[in-house]
């Protein structure tokens, strides 16, 4: 087994997330018509991280008051997967406490690989209404591995990898540090 290759260390991780936030602000201004939805289980960390960062940039006073001015939720896609009978899957919580009808939705996931998760995510999201516009944001885009015609609009880092390699995204919230590594297994 090859030694894991570091794709993003914690410093670059932070820089990348900040850059993604500024890219979002360029398009969505004050986020009054935009909501963020993170895909369970691991896209939600990125979604909430972005929500926090955007609030810090756009309205630092509301951070101090402990309020979030940007709507952010989590979406579980287990019941919409096309492969649930091939492997056992445990559903996670869905929490969307806002209206997505006629809003701009930014779907957020950590890694874009085959595109199947995003396909299921789009289906799952439509159960909550008809958004005006949907965009995809991912931290890592494995661009050579797609099974479906799905592309992200905002990308943290694009990498070329083969199917047998594995991208591991670690989050401070549960893994103790922010890090992205590529391993060959």
Partner 1 sequence: MTKLSTKHLLGIKDITADDINLILSTAENFKEVINRPIKKVPSLRDITIANLFFENSTRTKLSFELAEKRLSADVVNFASSSSSVKKGETLIDTVNNILAMKVDMVVMRHPNPGAAVFLSKHVKAKIINAGDGAHEHPTQALLDAFSIREKLGSIKGKKIAIVGDILHSRVALSNIFCLQKLGAEVMVCGPTTLMPKYISSLGVKVEHNLQKALEWCDVANMLRIQLERQEIKFFPSLREYTMLFGLNKELLDSLPKKILVMHPGPINRGVEITSDVADCNQSIILEQVENGVAVRMAVLFLLAGRN
Contacts with partner 1, residue ranges (CB under 8 A): 76, 78-81, 84-85, 88-94, 123-124, 126-129
Measured from the CB atom, the residue of 88 and 160 that comes closer to partner 1 is 88
Helix axes 10-28 and 43-58, enclosed angle (nearest 10): 60
Q: What is the C-alpha to C-alpha distance for residues 49 and 40, in angstroms, rounded to an integer?
A: 14
Give, in order, the Cα–Cα distances in Å from 103 to each of 72, 142, 157. 12, 28, 27
Measured from the CB atom, the residue of 21 and 125 that comes closer to partner 1 is 125
Q: What is the C-alpha to C-alpha distance for residues 14 and 69, in angstroms, rounded to an integer?
A: 21
For the bound state, the minimum distance from the C-beta of residue 37 to partner 1, rounded and expressed in Å, comes to 14
Q: CA 136, 27, 155, 48 torsion: positive or negative?
A: negative
For the bound state, the minimum distance from the C-beta of residue 54 to partner 1, rounded and expressed in Å, comes to 26
For the bound state, the minimum distance from the C-beta of residue 116 to partner 1, rounded and expressed in Å, comes to 14
What are residue 72's DSSP bridge partners? 36
For the bound state, the minimum distance from the C-beta of residue 79 to partner 1, rounded and expressed in Å, comes to 4
For the bound state, the minimum distance from the C-beta of residue 163 to partner 1, rounded and expressed in Å, comes to 23
Q: What is the C-alpha to C-alpha distance for residues 42 and 52, in angstroms, rounded to an integer?
A: 16
Measured from the CB atom, the residue of 24 and 120 that comes closer to partner 1 is 120
Measured from the CB atom, the residue of 3 and 87 that comes closer to partner 1 is 87
What are residue 73's DSSP bridge partners? 37
Measured from the CB atom, the residue of 116 and 128 that comes closer to partner 1 is 128
């Amino acid at each position: 087994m090859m030694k894991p290759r570091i794709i993003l260390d914690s410093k670059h991780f932070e820089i990348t997330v900040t850059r993604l936030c500024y890219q979002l602000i360029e398009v969505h201004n004050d986020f009054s018509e935009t909501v963020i939805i993170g895909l369970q289980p691991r896209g939600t960390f990125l979604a909430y991280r972005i929500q926090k960062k955007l609030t810090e940039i756009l309205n630092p006073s509301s951070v101090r008051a402990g309020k979030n001015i940007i709507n952010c939720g989590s979406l579980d896609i287990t019941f919409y997967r096309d492969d649930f009978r091939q492997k056992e899957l445990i559903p996670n919580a869905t929490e969307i406490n806002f209206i997505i009808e006629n809003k701009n939705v930014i779907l957020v996931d950590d890694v874009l690989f085959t595109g199947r998760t995003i396909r299921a995510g789009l289906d799952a999201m439509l159960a909550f209404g008809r958004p005006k516009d949907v965009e995809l944001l991912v931290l890592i885009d494995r661009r050579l591995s797609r099974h479906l015609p799905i592309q992200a609009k905002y990308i943290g880092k694009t990498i070329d990898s083969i199917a047998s390699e594995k991208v591991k995204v670690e989050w401070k919230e549960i893994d103790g540090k922010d890090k992205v590594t590529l391993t060959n297994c």
